[in-house]
Amino acid sequence: MDLSIAAILAQDGLTSGAVYALLALAIVVVFTVTRVIFIPQGEFVAYGALTFAMMQLGRWPASINLLLGLALLAWLMELAAILRAPDRRARLGQEVLRATGYMLCWPAAVAGVFWALPQAGYPADQLAQPVQMALALAVVVPMGPLLYRVAYQPLAASSPLVLLIVSVGVHFALMGLGLWMFGAEGARADGLVDGSFDAGLLAVSWQSLLVVGVTALIMLALYLFFGRTLSGKALRATAVNRRGAQIVGIPITQAGRLAFLLAAAIGALCGMLIAPFTTIYYDTGFLIGLKAFVGAIIGGLSSFPLAVGGALLVGLIESFASFWASAFKEVIVFTLIIPVLLWRSIASSRQGRHDEDES
């Protein structure tokens, strides 16, 4: 391997690692706020990419049907919860109106836009790419809080093991729905930017630079959100002490919905960023989400900086492993989790013995 090949592999590794870093951040946010190991994170990657690609092909994204179905199911579950709670049943009209507003209005508006655009002479394949991305986000992002309401909110007080089992079931359900909506054939979107520029021995593509730049901007936005906004501070408080946050009046149910909203937005955006690089299939997001999960595990599912560093490490290892042992690159990446778990287990045992000695 000469220096030019190493530079190319490093570029690919950093580009992939930037995507894994964003997904690892989403996994950490969801876990710290809701205690859910969010295995279906990768499905939002596939849904975002395939919805974007279908619009470029001029086809009606079938994910809109899933959005409408989830919205209706979540609304019916919320209506049943209102009728079961005496304090909420006393203000039935207000509660039903509120549930209708945040569960049904947005999906109906999105479906209306997709129906009206061709009628007005603007088919999806003739829209500008930023508009297509915005519409794809409008379809996929609301699925996050709706999925939380349908699958996780009724079991919010359960143990992490129960929530993990639910995540596995939701993952298989979303994968099957992805096969039904998008088919077994993959799709690849057009690049957002074309061309490349020379940087010494390396030809850097503008698309790779865009991925890294968007990743950096989103990380900065998340830093400002968690540090400067009331909603972000409420999420941090819920992550630090769930019971204490509830005692001081932070609505942990809304915190869970917001965490899933962020996870869906990050996943869908990552899918659209990588769609020009590779063909996306209905099950492609699973492996991508697992690699991001490895990065999150390196960060202990609690530290944002360590999760980002671990995800970048995963991307670099995957890139160089594809050169030296391409048939075993997945094995090498996932084997990385074993020494990390062993080290964390030993460190936790030592900390426990130290606390016992002090007491």
For residues 319 and 307, give the distance between their C-alpha atoms in angstroms, rounded to a whole number.
18
- CB neighbours of 256 closer than 8 A, spacing ≥ 6? 33, 34, 148, 152, 153, 156
Average pLDDT, stretch 257-281? 90
Domain boundaries, position 68:
3-331
pLDDT given for residue 190 in this prediction: 80
Neighbours of 210 (CB within 10 A): 16
**Helix 252-274 and helix 284-298, axial crossing angle in degrees, nearest 10:** 120
Asked whether residue 349 is domain-assigned, the answer is no
Give the list of residues 6+ apart from residue 326 with CB closer than 8 angstroms, or none. Answer: none
- From its phi and psi, is residue 195 left (phi > 0), alpha (psi between -120 and 50) or beta? left
- What are the pLDDT digits (tens) for 173-184? 999 999 998 888
Structural domains counted in the chain:
1
- The pLDDT of residue 70 is 93
Handedness of CA 80, 81, 86, 91 (dihedral sign): negative
pLDDT mean over 63-80: 91
Q: Which helix (H) or strand (E) holds 347?
A: helix 337-358
Instruction: Give the predicted TM-score (pTM) of the model.
Output: 0.89
Residue 324 lies in a domain: yes
Give domain status of residue 102, yes or no. yes
pLDDT tens, residue by residue, 10-32: 888 888 888 999 999 999 989 88
Best-predicted range by mean pLDDT among 40-44, 189-193, 272-276?
40-44
Say if 348 falls within a structural domain.
no
Give pLDDT, residue 230. Answer: 85
Res. 3: pLDDT tops 80: no
User: Is pLDDT of 71 > 90?
Assistant: yes
The pair of structure tokens assigned to 14 is 């950093």
Predicted local distance difference test score (pLDDT) of residue 357 = 63
DSSP strand E in the chain: where?
Answer: 196-199, 202-205
- Residue 148 has a pLDDT of 93
Per-residue pLDDT averaged across 90-116, rounded? 86
If you average pLDDT over every residue of the chain, what do you get?
85
Residue in 340, 293, 228 with CA at minimum distance from that of residue 45: 293
Is 15 or 3 the better-scoring residue by pLDDT?
Answer: 15
Is 23 a domain residue? yes
Q: Beta-carbon neighbour count of residue 71 at 10 Å?
A: 25
Distance CA 5, CA 8 (A): 5
Residue 249 lies in a domain: yes
- Rounded to an integer, what is the distance from CA 85 to the centroid of its chain? 33
For residue 198, is it within any domain? yes
Q: What is the CATH number of the domain that holds 226?
A: 1.10.3470
Query: Per-residue pLDDT tens for 29-57?
Result: 898 888 888 999 999 999 999 999 888 88
The answer to whether residue 263 sits within a structural domain is yes
